[in-house]
């Protein structure tokens, strides 16, 4: 999506985003916000093919790309294909080492980034760790911000000055001038509360499970995400009642 946004300025003949989900970002932001982002892209003449996957690529005798064939039979003429293929951990080399992995091959660590071998630490995208703002449930968060914190925690533990990791996941992106900020970890959320206008891309979206706040996404409300991240980092439990009674200024009052 970021590449498609950037590519508009290059004035190509066409841009098409191909996605396996029913709308962009649906797993993170939900359908309403995802569809609003999609409409913003459509207004900039970006097409979408979804939900669908690529069947094959076709090119000329010299190996130059000519078209992208989708599983639904659609053929897209193309000069350039940019593929975001995700992340898989390359941890097969330690499978017989005694270090514990999860079923996907990610490395299990404790809150000091220590593996099941006390002399081995793991950080960043390959680590599954207990997230304090998510009731210390084991998670894998592939954010650069979290990887930086992981390295610090591992270094302090190795130096004999261990601290428990309390950082709250945080990421941001800018799409056509709209800065979207997200903090927390909303896997399995069962309730979403939106304040503001999604259509105008100026809102705060709260993600809750069992009436406990898991994460927040904001557009046009930049300080709020950082302020709520501080609440979550300090172990503050936020419910629907808190959301209903607190104004934007209230979130600045860090518990």
Could you give the domains of the chain? 2-77 (3.50.50.60), 92-158 (3.50.50.60), 170-251 (3.30.390.30)
Which of 3-7, 64-68, 144-148, 245-249 shows the lowest per-residue confidence on average (mean pLDDT)?
Answer: 245-249
> What is the pLDDT averaged over residues 26-40?
95
Predicted pLDDT at 242: 86
Decide: residue 177, CB within 10 A, 0-12 exposed, 13-18 middle, 19+ buried.
Answer: exposed
Helix (H) or strand (E) holding 51: none
Rounded distance, CA 38 to CA 33, Å? Answer: 9
What is residue 150's three-state secondary structure?
Answer: helix
Decide: residue 217, CB within 10 A, 0-12 exposed, 13-18 middle, 19+ buried.
Answer: buried
Give how far the C-alpha of residue 26 lies from the chain's centroid of Cα atoms, to the nearest Å: 11
Contact 159, 149 (CB under 8 A): no
Cα atoms found within 13 Å of the Cα of residue 66, Cβ hemisphere only: 6
Write out the E strands in 50-159.
54-59, 65-70, 75-77, 107-108, 127-131, 137-139
Predicted pLDDT at 235: 83
pLDDT at position 230 over 50: yes
Of 80, 6, 70, 13, the closest CA to residue 41 belongs to 6
- Token match 């898991």: residue? 214
What's the full length of the chain, in residues? 255
Contact 172, 180 (CB under 8 A): yes
- pLDDT class of 1 with cuts at 50, 70, 90: very high
- Token match 């399995």: residue? 188
- Token match 């959301």: residue? 243
Which of 15-29, 30-44, 238-252 shows the lowest per-residue confidence on average (mean pLDDT)?
Answer: 238-252
pLDDT at position 33 over 90: yes
> What is the pLDDT averaged over residues 9-37?
95
**Beta-carbon neighbour count of residue 95 at 10 Å?**
10
Sign of the CA dihedral running 106, 189, 83, 225:
negative
pLDDT at position 253 over 80: no
- pLDDT class of 249 with cuts at 50, 70, 90: low
Predicted pLDDT at 254: 47
The DSSP symbol for 255 reads: -
Predicted pLDDT at 250: 59
Indicate left, alpha or beta for 40 from its phi (over 0: left) and psi (-120 to 50: alpha).
alpha
In angstroms, what CA-CA distances link 166 with 81, 157, 222, 233, 234? 39, 14, 22, 6, 8
What pTM was estimated for this model as a whole? 0.86
- pLDDT class of 220 with cuts at 50, 70, 90: confident
Whether cis (ω within 30° of 0) applies to the bond prior to 51 is yes
Mean pLDDT of the chain: 91
pLDDT at position 25 over 50: yes
> What is the pLDDT averaged over residues 233-245?
86
Contact 130, 167 (CB under 8 A): no
Rounded distance, CA 150 to CA 154, Å? Answer: 6
Predicted pLDDT at 158: 95
């Amino acid at each position: 999506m970021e590449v498609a946004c950037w590519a508009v300025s290059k004035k190509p003949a066409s841009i098409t985003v191909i996605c396996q989900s029913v709308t962009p970002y649906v797993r993170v932001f939900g359908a309403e916000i995802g569809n609003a982002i999609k409409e913003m892209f459509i207004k900039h003449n970006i097409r979408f093919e979804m939900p669908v996957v690529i069947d094959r690529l076709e090119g000329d005798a010299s190996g130059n790309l000519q078209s992208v064939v989708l599983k639904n039979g659609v053929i897209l003429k193309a000069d350039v294909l940019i593929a975001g293929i995700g992340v898989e951990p390359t941890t097969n080399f330690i499978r017989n080492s005694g270090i514990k992995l999860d079923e996907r091959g990610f490395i299990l660590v404790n809150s000091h980034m220590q593996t099941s071998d006390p002399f081995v630490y793991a950080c960043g995208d390959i680590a599954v760790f207990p997230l304090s703002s998510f009731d210390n449930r084991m998670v894998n968060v592939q954010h650069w911000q979290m990887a930086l914190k992981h390295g610090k925690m591992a270094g302090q533990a190795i130096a004999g000055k261990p601290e428990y990791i309390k950082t709250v996941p945080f990421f941001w992106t800018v799409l056509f001038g709209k800065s979207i900020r997200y903090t927390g970890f909303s896997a399995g959320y069962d309730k979403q509360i939106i304040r503001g206008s999604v259509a105008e891309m100026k809102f705060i979206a709260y993600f809750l499970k069992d009436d406990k706040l898991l994460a927040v996404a904001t557009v046009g409300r930049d300080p709020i995400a950082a302020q709520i991240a501080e609440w979550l980092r300090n172990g503050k439990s936020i419910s629907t009642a808190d959301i209903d009674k607190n104004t934007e200024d209230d979130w600045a009052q860090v518990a």
